[in-house]
């Protein structure tokens, strides 16, 4: 459960700690606003990502399904700063052709992205949830993102891009399955 009151008090306290006056006109509504923004950014904490994949259907399609360039916004758990980019999610359905709605792949990315994260864990969690629910022959997840904690502070390398991948099942064992998906992902650029 998100505690709106506590979050507001914390934002007010943080503004005070930074030497700001939280009671000045421009900041008067900011603690409530920031608290609401956090509730939205961390919405994944208050849901079960597997529920996103509850609805499946049999389409007797046993080859690659790949959704590329899913916009992804998350928050790094080290600095509570955004990292954002795109996610590519693919799977090969099992022998029953068990598939899910395409939008559900994007919903799954959101469910894990909307919480304090690291990119590697986000990538694996999406892959593992798909493996558990669809029981497909394989899953591939690639995430490309820029971390604002590396751009706007610290090392200040704006534009540096981090790519992470998670491969399961057939994508791990078969170089040609992996190459097919990676070629399609590369072809998007």
Q: Report the binding-site residues for Zn(2+).
A: 76, 79, 149
Annotated catalytic residue 79: yes
**What is the rounded distance in angstroms from the CA atom of residue 167 to the CA atom of residue 163?**
13
Asked if 115 interacts with ligand GTP (CB under 6 A), we say no
Among 5, 40, 77, 120, the one annotated catalytic: 77
Specify the stretch interacting with Zn ion by CB under 5 A; choose among 4-12, 75-83, 96-104, 136-144.
75-83
How is the chain split among helix, strand and coil, in percent rounded to 5? 45, 25, 30
Asked if 78 interacts with Zn ion (CB under 5 A), we say yes
**What is the rounded distance in angstroms from the CA atom of residue 49 to the CA atom of residue 132?**
12
Among 8, 76, 125, 144, the one annotated catalytic: 76
Among 4, 20, 62, 79, the one annotated catalytic: 79
Among 5, 40, 50, 78, the one annotated catalytic: 78
**CB of residue 158 to ligand GTP, shortest distance in Å:** 13
Specify the stretch interacting with ligand GTP by CB under 6 A; choose among 10-18, 50-58, 113-121, 130-138.
113-121
Specify the stretch interacting with Zn ion by CB under 5 A; choose among 96-104, 118-126, 146-154, 168-176.
146-154
User: Residues 47, 86, 118, 149: which binds Zn ion (CB under 5 A)?
Assistant: 149
* CB contact at 8 A, 142 and 87: yes
User: Residues 131, 149, 182, 184: which binds ligand GTP (CB under 6 A)?
Assistant: 149
Of residues 138, 50, 124, the one with CA closest to residue 94:
138
User: Residues 100, 119, 165, 170: which binds ligand GTP (CB under 6 A)?
Assistant: 119
Structure tokens at 22: 């939280």
* CB contact at 8 A, 63 and 97: no
**Which ranges in the chain belong to alpha helices (H)?**
4-17, 30-41, 102-113, 119-134, 148-151, 170-173, 175-187
Annotated catalytic residue 78: yes
Of residues 15, 8, 9, the one with CA closest to residue 34:
8
Return residues touching Zn ion (CB under 5 A). 76, 78-79, 149
């Amino acid at each position: 459960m998100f505690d709106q009151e506590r979050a507001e008090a914390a934002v007010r306290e943080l503004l005070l700690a930074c030497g700001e006056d939280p009671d000045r006109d421009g900041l008067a509504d900011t603690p409530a606003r920031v608290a609401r923004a956090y509730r939205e950014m961390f919405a994944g904490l208050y849901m079960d990502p597997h529920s996103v994949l509850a609805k499946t259907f049999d389409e007797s399609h046993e080859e690659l399904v790949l959704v590329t360039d899913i916009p992804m916004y998350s928050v790094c758990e080290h600095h509570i700063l955004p990292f954002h980019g795109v996610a590519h999610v693919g799977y090969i359905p099992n022998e029953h052709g068990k598939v899910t709605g395409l939008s559900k792949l994007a919903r799954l990315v959101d469910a894990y992205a909307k919480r304090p994260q690291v990119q590697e864990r986000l990538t694996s969690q999406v892959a593992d949830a798909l493996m558990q629910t669809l029981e497909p022959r394989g899953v591939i997840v690639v995430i490309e993102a820029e971390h604002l904690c590396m751009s706007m502070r610290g090392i200040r390398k704006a534009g540096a891009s981090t790519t992470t991948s998670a491969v399961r099942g057939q994508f791990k064992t078969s170089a040609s399955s992996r190459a097919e998906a990676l070629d399609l992902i590369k072809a998007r650029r």
